[in-house]
Amino acid sequence: MEQQLKNDLLLRAAKCMPIERVPVWMMRQAGRSDPLYRQIRQSINLPLERLFRTCPTPMSDTDVEWAVKISLLPKRIGVDAIIVYKDILTPLSPMGAHFRFSPGPVLDEPIRTQKQVDALKPVDDPDVQLRYTGCVIQRLRNVLAAELPLIGFAGAPLTLAFFLIAGQSPMKRGEGISEEATPVFEMMQNAPELLHLLLDRLTKMTINYLNYQISQGVQIVQLFESIADVLSQQMYETFALPYHQRIFAELNTDTPAILFAKECPYVNLMHQSGADVLSVGKCVDLGTVKKEAGDSVALQGNVDNDILRDGTFDDITEAVRTCIEQGGKTGHILNLSHGLHRDTPFENVKHFVSIAKVL
């Protein structure tokens, strides 16, 4: 029999059940804004492709332990959930698309032809092909001992397609789209059938990948559409939404699922995805969305991640207070508009979590 969670605030919030206070966690909470993370990375001196498992290198028990240790770092600052330390590109490696980090992700041969799409391998045996992820999840569940819920995740098909077609990150170091993403928009315009074929393969993989994470012990999952902010409504309706709907329709229904669509203004389309929780950005008014959605879906967000990086403690406190007031005490998970900036002062991160528990 599975142990009962000592802190199940996140899971209850995701199901719009009554909660004593709004749960809090952050995207990229186990990352470069944490000085202890930077110390660990420097001391182990392993390339990210080893820790993220975006390469075909044989699995190492030591690598698993490092991934577990890094995943657990935010526990010491009081977050209400732990997210598995890995990358959205992780499941592309068993498909034959091995990204290395130099320092950002690089694919030696971008996927742009029918032959290349056809050559991508299916991920139909994740217990073999993605065993590293399963081992990390199992180990995390053992170490957590039902103290906090564990979050699994995957990149949405269109976001993964952007990386595959661009052959690297489609985003600039700051904000906005890079020139390397131009071939993706060209494919949307000139070869939509080829893009849909790629998205179909990525969707099948993502369904298997997320259900595998659930089978290994994650208690909630998040789908990252990290390029939503550069999509027109027509692009979102054509190349993103149908695949979101397929994924959420085929996930284990006992496990809540979150859709994160970066700075997506089309909240009505997000709502049509079938996700239990919508993670919204700073481009929308959380209070308005809450009124319109009611208890039909939970919401996550949406404190401006720029405020966490650039603001004072008072600025952060006010932003958190406003967010909690707009989100209400039911069906709301406190988070950021996007992931933590790498140069966010760690004292600000700790203040964000601590103040969230007393407001």
The total domain count for the chain is 1
DSSP code per residue over 229-298: GG--HHHIIIIIHHHHHHHHHTS-TTS-EEEEETT-S-HHHHHTT--SEEE--TTS-HHHHHHHHTTSSE
Are the CB atoms for 135 and 64 separated by under 8 Å?
Answer: yes
Provide CB contacts within 8 A for 219, sequence distance 6+: 5, 11, 149, 150, 151, 255
**Strand 105-106 and strand 100-101: pairing?**
antiparallel
Residue 1 confidence (pLDDT) above 80: no
Provide CB contacts within 8 A for 233, sequence distance 6+: 266, 269
Residue range 70-92, pLDDT digits in tens: 999 999 999 999 999 999 999 99
Residue 226 confidence (pLDDT) above 90: yes
258 domain-assigned:
yes
2 domain-assigned:
no
1 domain-assigned:
no
pLDDT for 180 equals 83
215 domain-assigned:
yes
Residue range 105-123, pLDDT digits in tens: 999 999 999 999 999 999 9
Place of tokens 């909470």: 29
Q: What is the DSSP letter of 89?
A: T
Q: How confident is the model at residue 103 (pLDDT cuts 50, 70, 90)?
A: confident
Nearest to 113 by CA among 27, 195, 5: 195
Residue 329 confidence (pLDDT) above 90: no
Place of tokens 């991508």: 120
Cα 110-112-113 angle, rounded to 5 deg: 130
Residue range 236-292, pLDDT digits in tens: 999 999 999 999 999 999 999 999 999 999 999 999 999 999 999 999 999 999 999
Instruction: Write the Ramachandran bin of 313: left for phi over 0, alpha for psi from -120 to 50, otherwise beta.
Output: alpha
161 domain-assigned:
yes
Share of the chain above pLDDT 90, in %: 90
Q: Which residues form the domain of 39? A: 9-356
340 domain-assigned:
yes
Q: How far apart are CA 220 and CA 333, in angstroms?
A: 13
Q: What is the DSSP letter of 171?
A: B
SS3 of residue 151 by DSSP:
strand
Share of the chain above pLDDT 70, in %: 98
In sign, the C-alpha dihedral spanning 127, 130, 136, 140 is negative
Q: What is the average per-residue pLDDT within 223-235?
A: 97
How many beta carbons lie within 10 A of that of residue 340, not counting itself? 23
151 domain-assigned:
yes
What's the mean per-residue pLDDT of the chain?
95
pLDDT for 173 equals 63
211 domain-assigned:
yes
Q: What is the average per-residue pLDDT within 199-222?
A: 98
Comparing 1-10, 165-174, 235-244, 321-330, which segment has the lowest mean pLDDT? Answer: 165-174
Q: How far apart are CA 278 and CA 294, in angstroms?
A: 12
The CATH number for 339's domain is 3.20.20.210
pLDDT for 112 equals 96
Residue 174 confidence (pLDDT) above 70: no
Are the CB atoms for 24 and 353 separated by under 8 Å?
Answer: yes
Higher pLDDT, 321 or 359: 321
Residue range 180-199, pLDDT digits in tens: 889 999 999 999 999 999 99
pLDDT for 61 equals 93
